Amino acid sequence: MSKKVGILMGSDSDLPIVRKATDMLDSLGIPYEVHVYSAHRTPVEAAEFSKNARASGFGAMIAFAGMAAHLAGAVAANTTLPVIGVPCKSSNLDGLDALLSTVQMPTGIPVATVAINGGGNAALLAAQILATADETLAEKLIAKRAADAAKVLEKDAAVSAEFNR
């Protein structure tokens, strides 16, 4: 069994993006735990969860936040587990505010930031981190890459049939 992925979101309004990650983790059979802990509204809970995460059996963390998105950085400040930040598009600035707030971390406290609303890739990156110590999971990821590539080649065949006569 893989280690767990800890998933935190700044608000339940981030849930549609969080579900992209939980769906992906479900498809890979990776256990996880999900909480609404905000860097600003519930900083004590966010810090306590992060401080205890390694001892609680987590192997990677994913933090979702929009606007002044400090959650991933706040988590990273309190653990040496790998932290993946997902900037969420939730304001008038189209997510650029969250992207910059998440990605621009000072040396010493890294956050691996994925694309705006990139919940699926956040889960895959967490899976790849866990797979460094889990051969069964590594095999699943290799199989998924092959299945994804096969789907693209099917689409290529359809497009080729239409245009390349």
Site string (57-96) toward ligand RP5, x via CB under 6 A: --------xxx--------------------x-x------
* Phi, psi for residue 5 in degrees, rounded to 5: -105, 130
Is 10 an interacting residue with respect to ligand RP5 (CB under 6 A)? Answer: yes
Distance from C-alpha of 59 to C-alpha of 88, rounded to nearest angstrom: 23
In this structure, the number of other CB atoms found within 10 A of the CB of residue 56 comes to 12
User: In angstroms, what CA-CA distances link 129 with 27, 44, 79, 135, 151?
Assistant: 16, 27, 16, 12, 25
| Residue span binding ligand RP5 (CB under 6 A) among the ranges 7-15, 54-62, 141-149, 155-163 | 7-15
Least distance CB 9 / ligand RP5 (angstroms): 6
119-152 exposure pattern, b = at least 16 Cβ within 10 A, e = fewer? bbbbbbbbbebbbeebeebeebbeeeeeeeeeee
113 binds ligand RP5 (CB under 6 A): no
What's the min distance (Å) between Cβ of 88 and ligand RP5? 5
Which tokens belong to 95? 């997510």
Which part of the chain contacts ligand RP5 (CB under 6 A), choosing from 10-18, 20-28, 116-124, 155-163?
A: 10-18
Smallest gap from Cβ 38 to ligand RP5, in A, equals 5
CB of 110 to ligand RP5, least distance (A): 20
Tell me which residues touch ligand RP5 (CB under 6 A). 10-11, 13-14, 38, 65-67, 88, 90
